[in-house]
């Protein structure tokens, strides 16, 4: 079963379909064996310009270069893991994300450890406000974004 998503790099917005092999998208993204996100039937746009999207049939994007992933399909509520939510802001080179971090019971209580890549590269942020610093055309309010903490510039807890 395929999943539709939008991913953001430090220069591009890429929309397309992926095949997570029946797994939750977050589990699939956090697999360390697969180094690329392979998308089908989508389009990409340069973030610094407001041009029409460029269509593609097949595209590979190294995970190390992906800042954010926004699933477009409705969440699979049966596959969710119980989490504690923490309000915070994450900053990237071209984005800020404000929302609720989902911390699992197996995650470290210390946020610095969790956000240093303790067990996951991509962490879920729900009820997220994504702001593109170079082009507000790409700002979005989304139900969930998977944020690559290996690309993070800084984080702060909302007061």
The answer to whether position 143 is within a domain reads: yes
- Most distant CA pair in the chain: distance in Å? 45
Same domain, 54 and 89: no
Residue 113: per-residue pLDDT: 83
- CATH label of the domain that carries residue 110: 2.30.30.100
State the pTM of this model.
0.90
How many domains, in total, are found in the chain? 2
Question: Containing domain of residue 124, as a range?
Answer: 80-157
Q: Residue-wise pLDDT tens for the chain (159 aa)?
A: 899 999 999 999 999 999 998 888 888 999 888 899 999 999 999 999 888 999 999 999 999 999 999 999 776 555 567 778 899 999 999 999 999 998 878 777 888 888 886 678 899 999 999 999 999 999 999 999 999 999 999 999 976
Same domain, 21 and 87: no
Same domain, 103 and 39: no
Report d(CA 95, CA 139) in Å as an integer. 9
Looking at residue 66, what DSSP letter applies?
A: -
The residues that bridge with 19 in the sheet, in sequence order, are none
Q: Which of 100, 102, 104, 28 is nearest to 66 (CA)?
A: 28
């Amino acid at each position: 079963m395929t999943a539709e998503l939008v991913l953001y790099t430090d220069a591009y917005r890429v929309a397309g379909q992926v095949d997570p092999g029946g797994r939750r998208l977050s589990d699939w993204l956090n697999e360390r064996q697969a180094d690329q996100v392979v998308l089908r039937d989508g389009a990409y746009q340069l973030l610094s310009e407001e041009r029409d999207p460029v269509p593609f049939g097949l595209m590979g994007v190294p995970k190390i270069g992906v800042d954010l992933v926004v699933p477009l399909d409705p969440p699979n509520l049966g596959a969710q893991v119980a989490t504690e939510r923490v309000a915070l802001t994450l900053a990237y080179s071209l984005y800020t994300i404000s929302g609720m971090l989902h911390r699992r019971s197996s995650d470290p209580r210390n946020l610095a450890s969790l956000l240093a890549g303790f067990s996951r590269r991509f962490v879920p942020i729900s009820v997220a406000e994504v702001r593109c610093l170079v082009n507000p055309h790409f700002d979005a309010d989304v139900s969930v974004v998977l944020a690559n903490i290996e690309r993070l510039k800084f984080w702060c807890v909302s007061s």
